[in-house]
């Protein structure tokens, strides 16, 4: 999955696969996680959020099934 690099103290990059509704997040600490059945609108909201880390904690973490992939 292609990811977009961002300036964040928590997140290095993230991307979205619209065919599977999967959000992939690479953290600055190293791991890569995928979050499943994420609405595309949530991905776009994350793109325009003032802080993608804060948005992640509020709107994604614990809200969707997840799996560490890297």
pTM value > 0.75: yes
Q: How many CB atoms lie within 10 A of CB 25?
A: 23
Residues 18-52: pLDDT tens digits? 999 999 999 999 999 999 999 999 999 999 999 99
- Residue 8: which residues within 8 A CB-CB, separation 6 or more? 28, 51, 52, 53
Strands (E), the chain: 4-5, 11-17, 22-27, 32-35, 66-68
């Amino acid at each position: 999955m292609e990811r977009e690099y961002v300036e964040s103290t928590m997140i290095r990059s993230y991307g979205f696969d619209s065919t599977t509704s999967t959000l992939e997040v690479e953290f600055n600490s190293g791991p890569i996680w995928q979050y499943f059945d994420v609405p595309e609108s949530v991905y776009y909201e994350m793109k325009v959020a003032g802080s993608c880390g804060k948005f992640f904690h509020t709107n994604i973490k614990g809200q969707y099934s997840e799996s560490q992939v890297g």
